[in-house]
Amino acid sequence: MQITRLDVPQCSIGEGPVWDVQSANLYWIDILGKCVFRLSADGQTTRWDVPQIIGSMAIRRDGNAIVALANGVHSLDFATGACAPLATSPELNEQVQLADGKVDRRGRFIVGSSDRGMKEARGKLFVLDPGALELRQIDGDIFLANGPCWSPDDRTFYHADSIRKLIYAYDYDIGHGVVTNRRPFASTEELGGIPDGATVDTDGCVWSAICEGGKLVRFRPDGSLDRIIEMPVKLPGSVMFGGPNLDRLYVPSLSPAFMGRTADPLDGSLYVIDGLGVQGIAEPRFGA
C-alpha cells in the first residue's frame, strides 16, 4: 500500500470527491473556499467558484454538474462557470444548510442538511428526483449529515450523523427513492473521531474517513471493523475510489485553521492510496 500526496491546491475543507468514469476526471470541493476542483487525466487542475458555501456536488448526464449550496441545489455549467438555482426546500433556512450528497443508481441526488451550529438535530435527508424543482424529504433528526452511499445491490443505504459518531443503515427502495428502518450500523466512538465522507467497495464493505481521528476505516457489511489505515493528516474528509480500474482511493482533507487551530503544512491536501487490493463501484451521473 502506498499513500501519495497529490500536487493540487490545498483546501480549507476538502470534501466530496467524485470520480467520473466517463470522463476519467476527479472532482472535489472546498466547502469554505466555495469552489469545485477538477483533476483531469492529463494532470491539469481546474477551479470553479460558486456563490455560497458548498456541501457536495455530482456530475450530470450532460457532463456538467449540480452543486448543493447552502440554500438549495444549483446547476453548474463548466464551460461558462454559471451557477443557477435548480431546486430547494422550505426546510432550508438560516439555521440549516445542505451538506454531503451522492447520486443513486437511478439518477437521483440524495443529500443531507445540517444544523449550522451543530447543536440541534435540525438536519434532514432529501431526494432530488430528476426534473423536480423541490427537494423531497425522506428522513430527519440529523445534526451533521455525511457519507451517503449504497450497498452493491442497492438494498441498503448508509448515512452518518457525524455529531452522534454513528453511521446508520437503512432499507432502500431503489424504485421510489425511499428509506425505511433506520438503525445503527457502526460507531466511531472508539476510533478517535467522527464519521465523515464514505463509499462502498465491490465486496459491500463501507469505507469511512474518520475526521479528527487521522484514519480511514473499512467496515464489513455486518458493521464489524475490518481494516484501519493511518493517514498523514488528522482530518481526512472523505473517500472515493477512482482510476481506470476503480482501485485507487482518493482522500481530500481539512485544515484545522478554519476552527482557529494551528494547521500542519500537510493539512488540506489531497491524497491517493494505491495497492489496497479492492475496487470501488462507479458513481452514477444525475438525471433521468
Cβ-Cβ contacts under 8 Å for 93 (sequence gap 6 or more): none
From the candidates 196, 201, 247, 267, which is the catalytic residue?
196
Position 118 scores a pLDDT of: 85
Terminal-residue alpha carbon distance, the chain: 38
Quote the CA–CA distance of 72 and 70 in Å, as a whole number.
6
User: Once rounded to an integer, what is the mean pLDDT over residues 152-169?
Assistant: 98
Task: Say if residues 111 and 73 touch (Cβ distance below 8 Å).
Answer: yes
What would the pLDDT profile of 36-48 be if each residue is shown by its tens digit? 999 998 999 999 9
Judged against a pLDDT cut of 70, whether residue 5 lies above it is answered with yes
Confidence of residue 256 (pLDDT cuts 50, 70, 90): confident
pLDDT at residue 288 tops 80: no
d(CA 151, CA 221): 8
**Cα 95 from chain centre:** 21
For the segment 224-253, the average pLDDT, to the nearest whole number, is 98
Mean pLDDT, the chain, integer: 96
Predicted confidence (pLDDT) per residue in 196-237, tens digit: 999 999 999 999 999 999 999 999 999 999 999 999 999 999
Which 3 state secondary structure label does DSSP give 32?
coil
Residue 134 has pLDDT above 90, yes or no: yes
Q: d(Cα 25, Cα 67) in Å, to the nearest integer?
A: 17
Place of cell 457489511: 221
Q: Residue 155 pLDDT more than 70?
A: yes
Q: Could you give the CA distance from residue 25 to residue 42 in angstroms, rounded to a whole number?
A: 9
Per-residue confidence (pLDDT) for residue 259, from 0 to 100: 81
pLDDT at position 161:
98
Q: Letter for the amino acid at 152?
A: P
Q: Give the model confidence (pLDDT) of 99-121 as tens digits.
A: 999 999 999 999 999 988 888 99
- pLDDT over 90 (residue 189): yes
- Mean pLDDT for 136-147 is 97
CB atoms within 10 A of CB 49: 12
pLDDT at 266: 94
CATH of 2-274 among 3.40.50.300, 3.40.190.10, 2.120.10.30, 1.10.1740.10: 2.120.10.30
pLDDT tens track for 262-278:
889 999 999 999 999 99
Catalytic residue list contains 104: no
47-61: average pLDDT:
97
pLDDT of residue 94: 87
| Global pTM value | 0.97
What residues does each domain of the chain span? 2-274
Q: What is the C-alpha to C-alpha distance for residues 140 and 121, in angstroms, rounded to an integer?
A: 8
Separation in Å, CA 250 to CA 194, 233, 241: 19, 14, 6
What lies within 8 Å, CB to CB, of 259 at 6+ separation is none
Q: Could you count the other beta carbons within 10 Å of the beta carbon of residue 28?
A: 26
